[in-house]
Structure 1
Amino acid sequence: MAEATPIRPLPAASVETWHREADVVIAGYGIAGVCAAIEAARAGAEVLVLERTSGWGGAAALAGGFIYLGGGTPLQKALGFEDTPENMKAFMMAALGPGADEEKITDYCNGSVDHYNWLVDNGVPFKESFYGEPGWETPFDDGLMYSGGENAAPFKEVATPAPRGHVPQMTGKRTGEKGGGYMLMKPLVETAEQLGVVAEYDMRVQRLVVDETGRVVGIVAKQYGTELAIRARKGVVLATGSFAYNDEMVQQYAPRLIGRPGAAIEEHDGRAVRMAQALGADLAHMDATEVAFFGDPQLMVRGILVNGRGQRYVNEDTYPGRIGQETLLRNENQAYLIIDEAAYEEGCAATSSTPFFRFPPKWAAETVEELESDMGLPAGTLQTTVEVYNRHAENGEDPVLGKREQFVKPIGLPVAALDLRGCTAGFTLGGLRTSLDSEVLHVSGEPIPGLFAAGRCTAGVCAGGYASGTSLGDGSFYGRRAGIAAAKG
């Protein structure tokens, strides 16, 4: 879709009237924007936030609320889990690649405990309770959970497992509507307001304003159809989210997601990325995507997932987002859950945050051979897969993919298959390349003066893989850095 309005930078000399001005102007009032606003205000800057919608929150307020933190946070310690920045880094480097930014991940891990304390000091509540069941997120108000497959193969062999999904405490959660992310955003916005941060809503940012030296000195936005020039005396921070809902950009950079945007909001249109690109900004990991998988983990761990060839391709006890990536990116979006009647009933009886992903079986049969035929799989493929799995499962083992012993049980009879083909959606992880101080980097490697960015419009700690909480984690962590750096001017 072609840009409806100009995106090239506007020369400051051509601005006849500055309609608003502040020291630091922030585009976007999600997690990255609010953290930038707090730190900029604390540094003594006058802060103005421009938010496209009619209220604060962005995608963060709709999220489950995981913030990926570790290295020995007070919550981890209180619940008996040992972790170090080095252990956290070992996992992140293995799980978030290929091409993970080691410098950024090292920085993030070393600052993780301090960041947890900062969030708590700013009113974010965490309950001293651990949720250890398989799931996309806790259905309760627990404060800690495994959120990236840390305790599953292959990562449990790379780093000592430690749960790092920190979830703000909240009652009355509704997945995808009002989750723990709301309770992350609410106290932070209240803190920003107490610090004097001003927010203007229904502001659609259009283009950056640069002076004769190439420094970013403002931003052009539209409010109710009126174009406004807003001056930034010290810096502009871009925090407007991903490009998951920009069809043209998805087709260009992350074509596997064509027609499958999800886990984001439609305002994630990539505008900030394009605005910075027009200044020569560098990009990174634009093909990287998180992939949600519409299967209930309580069912998946009790069966085996097979692809369109009747073969297992991922350990079913791992992080569901990893299952989604393996399904969409490496198995042509073909997936079936093979599960026996007893295991299906047991899974449906378990508590889950995603009971709406408990689909009825499409096929059921008295034998695996009959099920294989009904599914249209090549003769012998599913039978061989189940036979090999069951042979080792009798001993509580899974030497093929390493599923944990507690979830390894032979597939019995009668047996059924859930049709999970096409049950994926996702959001983009790539974006603007930034420094550790959240400066937007030019393709030359030098910072673009006056321009900072954080959150999903940037390439954060994820380069290929994903763990739940890394978006809110690096968005809040580097949002803070953006606010501090922008306030310095």
Structure 2
Amino acid sequence: MAQRSTLHADVVIIGFGAAGACAALEAAHAGARVVVLDRFGGGGASALSGGVVYAGGGTREQRAAGVSDSPEAMFAYLRQEVSDAVSERTLRRFCEGSTEMVTWLAEHGVPFEGSLCPYKTSYPSNRHYLYYSGSEAAGGFRDVAPPAPRGHRTKGRGTSGKVLFNALAAAVRRAGVQVLTQTRATELVVDADGRVCAVECEQLRGTAAREHRMVSRVAAKPGLYVPKLARKLHRRAESLERRAEPLRIHADRAVIIAAGGFVSNREMMRRHAPAYRAGLPLGTQGDDGSGIRLGQSVGGVPDKLDRVSAWRFITPPSALLSGLLVDQRGSRIGDESRYGAAHGQAIVEEHGGRAWLLVDRDLRRRAKHQLRSQTVWFQRMQAEYLLATAATGDTVEAVARRAGVDPGHLQATVDTHNDAARAGKPDPAGKPADFVRPVDQPPYSLLDVSVRPSTAYPCPVLTLGGLRVDEDTGQVLDERGDPVAGLYAAGRSAVGICSNSYISGLSLADCVFSGRRAGVHSVKELSDADS
């Protein structure tokens, strides 16, 4: 057996995604010697993401786009979405520090731009980098707070999470942080006083490390769309890990867990969120819950593991917002202008995973016309698939029978909606008037937006729960609510801002918020005790 190597640092960070990178930057800025380790090559789900950071209150990008916003309006809206995931005090701190957060990211090389998307979409095209990324303008929310676009997409073509992470990774290395890739944390070491003081690891070197890096890189992005391929490549990565050598990293001040969620752990998904197993795991094979389990091994307590976000977007094209989202009985599921994760949650938890979008001839024609101008490649493929496979019929009842939807209930739903639309009355489901129009031009189509395993129209899912943490410091808490000495958590390894419900950009924003918090306070812990 290989002899165990040792390293020493003030702060050891497990996981090199957005949360881990932000924690490293703050700890290094405070003067700490920092080591970041990652089982793969770094980036994790952050690098695979759309690179959207939820921010508001009057950011430079909002002002450049002529958008008026305030921390108070941002708080009022997010309070409805966040609910009790964090306290009001923490949410206010998040909102009040939002503009500074974007400035901080920009100072570390993350590019943003105030080009406002003029239509409602799940993700803007390469021409726009500021958009309504949640339900701010949906019915029921406009009365709570003045709506404002707060989705700040990192400027870069395609899904730009890689641009965001690459900028942070470069900043981390400029800060003198030691980054160990192909290094897997296997155990937390606790000293005689009960403080987490070291991390036991397994590290690949040489040829095995290079092959592991290549295999894991290939598995990440294609594997997101072809999970079977990801699992096959991951098995190869696991076989290479048998060649790893033992390494202990001593943490003189603290350990920070920033290792992602558990969406790739089938057993944990089966136990905590069985209804969401039909979704496409949105993450890497590293999102296996290992960080959460490490925290549990030394007394940390997880929470909200049943909270999962399922994305069932009906836009783009934006014309589809005027359709009617219905269940198998033919009843409306809700305001179609709501954020896609709100639809996904309702479809999975209240409607047995089955849902259809009813459109007429005019909406279908407009949607096809908008395909090229409003979509990026993966959105275009999915929209074209939905339109091509839709059930059609010359009457509402005929299309309902072909799709397997209750004809009588669907007809009643359409009649109620159309009567209100023609009379200029409020929409029965609360949809804003901007998107309401009669659905009465045959032929009709029912687009199947059910949540089920599908390669052509997958429903991405990500886990939102994690370890309980002190909201002021990010320190992991035990079952009594006391802090676990020397241990912090951030990102999707921790309960945070988005742990009840998700809107685009809120997870990355929480990674920045909670990562920076953990980085700052991990350095303070022993310093305060010594003073």
Normalising by the residue count of structure 1, what TM-score does the alignment of the two structures yield?
Answer: 0.92
Q: Equivalent residue for 1:355?
A: 380
Whether contact under 8 Å (2:263, 2:282) holds in the other structure is: no
Does residue 418 of structure 2 align to residue 390 of structure 1? Answer: yes
Q: Using the TM superposition, name which of 71-80 and 111-120 deviates more.
A: 71-80
| Alpha-carbon distance change, 41 to 239 in structure 1, aligned in 2, over 3 angstroms | same
Whether contact under 8 Å (1:217, 1:231) holds in the other structure is: yes
Q: Equivalent residue for 1:336?
A: 356
Provide runs of 4+ in structure 1 moved above 6 Å: none
Q: Equivalent residue for 2:274?
A: 255
Q: Equivalent residue for 1:315?
A: 335
- Structure 2 CA distance for aligned equivalents of residues 169 and 137 of structure 1: 13
- Structure 1 CA distance for aligned equivalents of residues 322 and 167 of structure 2: 39
Shift of 1:191: 1.2
From 37, 44, 50, the equivalent of 1:50 is 37
- Structure 2 CA distance for aligned equivalents of residues 378 and 401 of structure 1: 19
Normalising by the residue count of structure 2, what TM-score does the alignment of the two structures yield?
Answer: 0.84
The one-character-per-residue Cα deviations of 1:284-318 (angstroms, maximum 9, x if unpaired) are 22211111116443253131110111111121122
Greater share of helix residues, 1 or 2?
A: 2
The one-character-per-residue Cα deviations of 1:416-450 (angstroms, maximum 9, x if unpaired) are 11122225331110001112221111221121111
- Structure 1 CA distance for aligned equivalents of residues 298 and 139 of structure 2: 43
Whether contact under 8 Å (1:264, 1:427) holds in the other structure is: yes
SS of 1:380's equivalent?
A: helix
Does residue 294 of structure 2 align to residue 271 of structure 1? Answer: no
Give 5+ residue unaligned stretches, structure 2.
205-243, 453-458, 527-531
Does residue 462 of structure 2 align to residue 427 of structure 1? Answer: yes
Q: Equivalent residue for 2:430?
A: 402
Q: Equivalent residue for 2:208?
A: none
- Structure 2 CA distance for aligned equivalents of residues 295 and 155 of structure 1: 19
Aligned-residue CA RMSD in angstroms?
A: 1.7
Q: Equivalent residue for 1:233?
A: 252
Using the aligned pairs only, state the percent identity: 36
Whether contact under 8 Å (2:327, 2:405) holds in the other structure is: no
Shift of 1:487: 2.1
From 479, 486, 496, the equivalent of 1:443 is 479
Q: Equivalent residue for 2:162?
A: 182
- Structure 1 CA distance for aligned equivalents of residues 404 and 263 of structure 2: 34
- Structure 1 CA distance for aligned equivalents of residues 341 and 405 of structure 2: 26
From 267, 292, 297, the equivalent of 2:311 is 292
From 111, 120, 129, the equivalent of 1:125 is 111
Whether contact under 8 Å (2:39, 2:181) holds in the other structure is: yes
- Structure 2 CA distance for aligned equivalents of residues 484 and 219 of structure 1: 20
| Alpha-carbon distance change, 88 to 294 in structure 1, aligned in 2, over 3 angstroms | closer
Shift of 1:261: 4.1
Q: Equivalent residue for 1:149?
A: 135
- Structure 2 CA distance for aligned equivalents of residues 104 and 284 of structure 1: 17
Whether contact under 8 Å (2:427, 2:436) holds in the other structure is: no
Shift of 1:25: 0.8
Shift of 1:46: 1.1
From 433, 444, 450, the equivalent of 1:415 is 444
SS of 1:309's equivalent?
A: coil
From 108, 112, 128, the equivalent of 2:98 is 112
Q: Using the TM superposition, name which of 231-240 and 79-88 deviates more.
A: 79-88
Give 5+ residue unaligned stretches, structure 1.
1-15, 174-178
Q: Using the TM superposition, name which of 373-382 and 229-238 deviates more.
A: 373-382
- Structure 1 CA distance for aligned equivalents of residues 276 and 202 of structure 2: 29
- Structure 2 CA distance for aligned equivalents of residues 267 and 398 of structure 1: 47
Q: Equivalent residue for 2:505?
A: 469
Shift of 1:141: 4.4
- Structure 2 CA distance for aligned equivalents of residues 371 and 98 of structure 1: 42
Shift of 1:196: 0.6
Q: Equivalent residue for 1:454?
A: 490
| Alpha-carbon distance change, 30 to 42 in structure 1, aligned in 2, over 3 angstroms | same
Shift of 1:78: 2.4
Whether contact under 8 Å (1:362, 1:419) holds in the other structure is: yes
Aligned residues: 467
Letter in 2 for 1:267: G
- Structure 1 CA distance for aligned equivalents of residues 393 and 280 of structure 2: 35
Whether contact under 8 Å (1:127, 1:141) holds in the other structure is: no
Q: Equivalent residue for 1:365?
A: 393
Q: Equivalent residue for 2:214?
A: none
Q: Using the TM superposition, name which of 387-396 and 256-265 deviates more.
A: 256-265
Q: Equivalent residue for 1:176?
A: none
Q: Using the TM superposition, name which of 236-245 and 478-487 deviates more.
A: 478-487
Q: Equivalent residue for 1:10?
A: none
The one-character-per-residue Cα deviations of 1:62-114 (angstroms, maximum 9, x if unpaired) are 11111111122222222222222222111111022365532321221121121
SS of 2:492's equivalent?
A: coil
Q: Equivalent residue for 2:49?
A: 63
Whether contact under 8 Å (2:198, 2:255) holds in the other structure is: yes
From 250, 253, 261, the equivalent of 1:242 is 261
Shift of 1:455: 0.3
| Alpha-carbon distance change, 78 to 362 in structure 1, aligned in 2, over 3 angstroms | closer
- Structure 1 CA distance for aligned equivalents of residues 6 and 363 of structure 2: 64
Letter in 1 for 2:245: T
Q: Equivalent residue for 2:16?
A: 29
- Structure 1 CA distance for aligned equivalents of residues 169 and 123 of structure 2: 24
Whether contact under 8 Å (2:279, 2:310) holds in the other structure is: no
| Alpha-carbon distance change, 377 to 56 in structure 1, aligned in 2, over 3 angstroms | closer
| Alpha-carbon distance change, 480 to 152 in structure 1, aligned in 2, over 3 angstroms | same
Letter in 2 for 1:320: G
Whether contact under 8 Å (1:455, 1:471) holds in the other structure is: yes
The one-character-per-residue Cα deviations of 1:20-47 (angstroms, maximum 9, x if unpaired) are 2211111111000110111111111111
Shift of 1:227: 2.4
Q: How does 1:151-170 map to 2 (within 5 A)?
A: 151-170=137-156
Shift of 1:471: 0.7
The one-character-per-residue Cα deviations of 1:378-436 (angstroms, maximum 9, x if unpaired) are 34111001111111122454431222222211112111111222253311100011122
Shift of 1:228: 1.7
Shift of 1:201: 0.8
- Structure 2 CA distance for aligned equivalents of residues 101 and 148 of structure 1: 21
Shift of 1:195: 1.0
